[in-house]
Amino acid sequence: MDKEHFLTRLAQWPKIHFSEVCITVCGGSPSPELYVRDRADPPCWLFIRRLVAGENSDSVLARYSQWLVEFHRERGNDFCLLSPHDDLSSNEPAGEQTALSPTPLPLVTER
């Protein structure tokens, strides 16, 4: 997925404030999957794509995280980067989370 397609996908959900990019391994999937999610309780997860065999997950996370930051900066949102050691495992989708690169937004109470 190219940058413009990713930004278009995010823009289709204007009331959800996606704040981080993550890669998970779900039970039935043959390969890891890339998602963006918000920090709501429970969180909203948006499937982006599957990683292909041999693809470097760290570089994928870095690229999509940067695009997410750019998406919100273009819309006038401030970002406050969290430590990568923050525990976000309590709201994972079914499966095991293998990598996370959070880029949270300020707390938003309006949906």
Task: pLDDT band for 86, please (50, 70, 90 cuts).
Answer: very low
pLDDT at 2: 92
State which residues form the domain around 66.
3-102
- 107 falls within a domain: no
pLDDT at 1: 79
Task: Please count the structural domains in the chain.
Answer: 1
pTM for this model (two decimals): 0.69
Name the DSSP letter for residue 46: E
- 109 falls within a domain: no
- 30 falls within a domain: yes
pLDDT at 28: 76
pLDDT at 3: 94
- 111 falls within a domain: no
- 110 falls within a domain: no
What residues contact residue 67 under an 8 Å CB cut-off, 6+ apart? 3, 6, 7
Token pair recorded at residue 14 = 């204007």
